[in-house]
Amino acid sequence: MIDGTRFWTVFVREVRSAVRTRTYLALGLVTAIVLFGLAHAGGGPAGGYVPTVVDTLVAVEVLVPTLAFAVGYRAIADPAVRGELDILDTYPLSTWSYVGGVYAGRALLLLAIVVVPLLALGVNVATTAGPETTVFASHRGVDSPFLFIRFIALTVLYALSSLTIAFLLSALAGSRGRALVLGLAGLLVITVGGDLAVFAGLDTGVTTSTLGGALAMTPAGAYRGLVFDQVLYVAVPGRSAFVPTWVAVLSLLFWWGLTFVGATLATDAA
């Protein structure tokens, strides 16, 4: 299914291409400026890791899929338009190896753009926050760098899922123009469309008892719910999750896996 050598060839080309594209460096800088700006405007770094997560969560929830779509919306549409996919059809390169290699290369780029500024923000918190944040949490109600690492890990999962959705839409697009339109539409659906659909469902079957589960079915809702449950509420005694944790985890993994398979099948048919 996936041939390691050819997967690596495709992956290395993606990474080289990313390193040579200055736009991505600019995206990383903008991301860092936005995150540091929001965190410092809210006073998060001086307050600790959890206050910093509170200050940046909403921005990260929107920024991550935006960056994922910027990195991925032309990932498959471009080579399809260039005729590269037709040429590669004549090579002993499986679609899984090709899409996997392109995805891995762009995922590495996306994670560099997202994770490096977040890590830098974590270091900033470590050097500016009060002494109560320098200990590792051994019980609920204590701020800790582990909570910030959890936040980054959940953000990585959210970013990877958003990127596969961008890949699926790119593979379905068939042209650069449609790739842009589908990318913007997909971004809107992820950032606001999912929540709106769930809240609209309150009139047609979604109840207050099933609202948490319904919110966890969308990528953004699952990510937000997991951050609240695994990061913010850990430091706040007496609060419990508003989405079922296992549903949220499965939801993100489902979006990640399903849309990757969809992107590969759509590339095969392109």
Report the residue number, 92 or 131, with the smaller CB distance to another protein: 92
Instruction: Say whether residue 22 binds another protein (CB under 8 A).
Output: no
Instruction: Say whether residue 87 binds another protein (CB under 8 A).
Output: yes
Asked if residue 193 lies in contact with residue 213, where contact means CB atoms within 8 angstroms, the answer is no
Give the C-alpha distances (Å, rounded to integers) separating 60 from 45, 76, 148, 179, 208: 16, 25, 13, 23, 27
Judged by CB under 8 A, the chain residues 36 through 65 that form the site for another protein are none
> CB of residue 16 vs another protein: minimum separation in angstroms?
8
Q: Which stretch binds another protein (CB under 8 A): 60-68, 79-87, 115-123, 257-265?
A: 79-87
Report the residue number, 195 or 268, with the smaller CB distance to another protein: 268
257/261 Cα distance (integer angstroms):
6
Q: Is 135 helix (H, G, I), strand (E, B) or coil?
A: coil
Report the residue number, 75 or 125, with the smaller CB distance to another protein: 75
Q: Which residues contact 153 (CB under 8 A, 6 or more apart)?
A: none
Judged by CB under 8 A, the chain residues 168 through 197 that form the site for another protein are none
Residue of the chain from 26, 86, 116, 210 that contacts another protein (CB under 8 A):
86
33/37 Cα distance (integer angstroms):
6
For the chain, the straight-line distance linking the first and the last C-alpha, in angstroms and rounded, comes to 18
Ramachandran assignment for 174, one of left (phi > 0), alpha (psi -120 to 50 degrees), beta (any other): left
Report the residue number, 88 or 249, with the smaller CB distance to another protein: 88
Residues that bind another protein in the complex, under the rule CB under 8 A: 5-6, 9, 13, 16-17, 20-21, 79, 82-84, 86-93
